[in-house]
Chains A and B, each alone.
Chain A
């Protein structure tokens, strides 16, 4: 299968279509407009449907209805738009509907700016909305990985009956890279028929009711505990990450995700050229978070450096993983500014020479 040079946004759309997504509901917002634009053109070609919702609130509820019929559905948005979907996402999780949501982070808070950022990490991984629920969150660092994760996301969503968020930033959406789509891709999870879907009650199965309301607290408690079990299973089985430079010994471990990890990777290579070994763990699943991998990799280092495009969000998970065992340093650029390899090298060198690190 030949490689194709594609914009991240288009690769994401094409990946969804190849994964069998036939319905897209979305509302324009920079920097991910190319996704709905691509879907509006491509979906009709494959017998699918594109609906430009009147708002993100409506989009999330259209998603709710469509996925309740058992179809594979997707939406995409960026920070302010994702916030508007909060209530809808809580309903999706409460009703256990499998949907894929592509979130392309831009700088905030409020209207903020439209340039890349990672400042929605805590929102996406911990506090998206009210109620006890969790979202599966996958963070690609390249266009190819974005395409792959989107396809996996549909399988994971169906398998767990849970919303899955593919979390990227403006770079992922805008950049072009070679992409390859496997011709005969197989689901990564075994998928049961969606007997729960509301498609008309003919009596062959119990009435299908797509619902998150449980007025009886004992019932709701049972529901909450069932959900909890599901999330525990996800934590057990779906952790994803990759490690770099960890085959050698290293003094500093870098933890970074998404496109920022690419920048760090460049830095690591430049260190390598000077014969200095620096390790990196790149979380790919942000929920479930690779706590063990980060902890063990950190134990092999003298210090940890967390690099993100936020004033300090993923670092909370690194703290949960590493605790007081190792000093945890932090470097970031925010507001749409990007971290450069040069800056990572400087910060890392400072730690190696244990100079005071200038926090971004």
Chain B
């Protein structure tokens, strides 16, 4: 490695929340211009470590040096002043403000577009923002409201804001990206990957992702965290994905393959979609899903597949066409009706739509299908707890406490509960999954995938909007490629074997 002064050097950083040691003595150095990957399971302490570097948390012990000088961050302001910019795991833009304002959010009064007395010089502000955006190859109009932007563009704005940060001597910033790609589609990730690659000209980068292939492509070096400790630090050339998986999770990755089977000739599909259309979203989409089969729908973010999946669940209306469940066309479709008919849905926006975070795990699990846990509208907590405990044990939910509010669980564990909520149904005919693995670490992903397979094996028809094409190819029996609201291609994986390249070609 180089002899340059590291942009940041951590020594023995520690932090605990109550009795939880979230970060236990981490030391690391990052050289200028380096792109470093940081991986680890959900709850390994990645975000916490980054929050220390960005001044949000104050460590219980250890030292931080920036460009060779020891620093103490009392708050995010200090970190920003020292040249640490961050894209947080959760989206952190003001959607009611313009792109320029968001990019220039950390500009101090008296600098750039913000006058000394706090007056805005919009022209200067917009120019500065456009300049910064140009550095990462974005041509966004700085006057656009962030609320009107797509996810990728928002992410670009976040990155622009992060690199807008400068060190005191005008030196290069350290840019921290905490899972910037987890909410993005495959193609969007491609855009972002390209830009992140270029960031090494702007500064150094710490990049967190659960997608190991991505980390391998973008980064120079990979750090692996486990249970609050840094357990590996390797140049990417020296590791393989499988090795990283083993380091993170502590066991071998297991390639699980499904036994795909074609439906019988006279079998009636569980779900049949006929010429379904919604203006501005999707147009004339038809497909069929049989019991025990999984149809993966792939497409870019404008392809209309989200709206389609929501229509199946009755969450959004459609204009024309038909949805048939077990041969019968649905009418006046709504969520309560869909649920009654045996449709389940795992939304992509887990925290907002997928669960009621303020209720306990047990309450969430039985909110939709009270089944035996309620009689005549009266709850039976005993039954409920028993059911919940069974699922907790089966899905290895951690912590194993069914009376904890669901918002206190990690993302992966939340997703297990959200999925279990539907699996408790006695007559689950159709399960619609919108990015069920979003933000999950590979270990948790495996458990969730196993549950999806099990549901299939039990005769449920599944519609899956996968995060990646690889996932779609691995899990699906059928693949529908959507482009600009139309079903552009259909592959039956029992018969065909398309490559990711084939799929991409059809998507664009």
A and B are partners in one complex rather than unrelated chains: no
- The chain A residues found within 8 Å of chain B, CB to CB, are none
